[in-house]
Amino acid sequence: MSLYIGVDLGTSAVKLLLMDGSGKIEKIVSKEYPISFPHPGWSEQNPQDWWDGVVAGIRELTADCDKDQVAGISFGGQMHGLVILDDKDQVIRPAILWNDGRTTKEVDYLNNVIGKDKLSQYTANIAFAGFTAPKILWVRENEPENFDRITKIMLPKDYIAYKMTGVHCTDVSDASGMLLLDVKNRCWSDEMIEICHIRKDQLPHVYESYDVVGTLTEEAAKTLGLPQSCKVAAGAGDNAAAAVGTGTVGDGMCNISLGTSGTIFISSDKFGVDANNALHSFGHADGHYHLMGCMLSAASCNKWWMDDIIGTKDYGNEQKEITKLGENHVFFLPYLMGERSPHNDPNARGTFIGLTMDNTRADMTQAVLEGVAFAMRDSFEVAKSLGIKIERTKICGGGAKSPLWCKIMANVLGIKVDLLASEEGPSMGGAMLAAVACGEYPSVKAAADAIVRVVDTIEPEPELVEKYEKKYRQFAAIYPAVKGLFAQWAQE
């Protein structure tokens, strides 16, 4: 039976997964690498560290298997990072990562001088500090000698694909987060290329996530210990790859990730953009599209509350005291790192409101869990305003290990929440894309239907949904009321 490798190129480590053609996971390996912060708010990595991690990881991953059975490799990867190569395909400078905040000036230029309407028209999105295009403008302004040497502009996982195949490639889902792609037409935007003062030949060829971009070069095959016949598929950005891994493919399918940050990922057969660009409108790894709301602090809010404020690691025990759902008068705004979707407000801050003398520690713990769910619903409401009907969602990430939090999510959103047998995120999605590329399955949807198993479903309770409807309306009124204070404090 053929074997497939999924490579999840994360921010702190690369996670590699070996899967057989039926979807059975044979082995998982993880290799960490450093991240550097050369200035406050900057975040960089050396692409060579990624490659070293991938090489060591694949050798360990395949140590006990018949390497000739490894038919394909594909990826999920940290998005938005800027990797620039010279005319000898050497890395010019460390990669500027998704969580790097140096581009405030460039984002302001793109959104307010070029204009959000034009950006949305060209790319279906507006500029955010993490996106790739503002980073290109930053390099041009601050490192002109490096800018002049650029021959190729790449994303993190695509550099690994290049090292394997010698092909400069990217995929539709990851390219969507660069602010250089015409998402609707799945091609580079000529207007954005001009705005960023680059040439089209400096950008890689755009593939669908399940397309084969090449096979291993002789050198890569030798380095990895794999056959040269091993196919490499383009892969996807981490969220799109995770969506494949949870079976979130097909019209109106939804996945909620309660990780450090939180995402609501809605797959759609049709292209769509909301009026305020509150959600990202990206290409999906299944050949269609998706909308995504990203909140910057999700499970990390609960970790902060438990570890740093209460001082406990026993999360489950703290939640035992929470028995009266939908009746809490304490609210929590989960904006500990500012907020992306739908407010796009870096000045927003975490806030407890509604406290009285009779409130307990459990009330505040409950408010944190509910605040994250309410903030997730903010993005859910934007999707509904576009006429997208969502009746159920998958759920993944560390926060999904809490039955109580999953129950809160089901009733705040008023939809069914499906729990999965196995949730391995982007690495699983990468392996599934490799299997599709090699012809093991006719489509990404077919692979998801065959491999992803739902083991339990949390049903919303009508009475509780009604209570949470009222509470959500109260929550939704808080941010507009305090937004001006956040902006004012940021100036001081």
Is residue 80 a known part of a binding site? yes
Cβ neighbours of residue 176 under 8 Å, at least 6 residues apart?
Answer: 124, 125, 183, 237, 280, 281, 282, 283
Is residue 79 a known part of a binding site? yes
- Residues forming the active site: 238
Q: Identify whether the C-beta of residue 338 lies closer than 8 Å to the C-beta of residue 483.
A: no
Copy the structure tokens of residue 293. 């709301």
Which residues does the annotation place in the binding site for substrate?
A: 79-80
Residue ranges of the binding site: 79-80
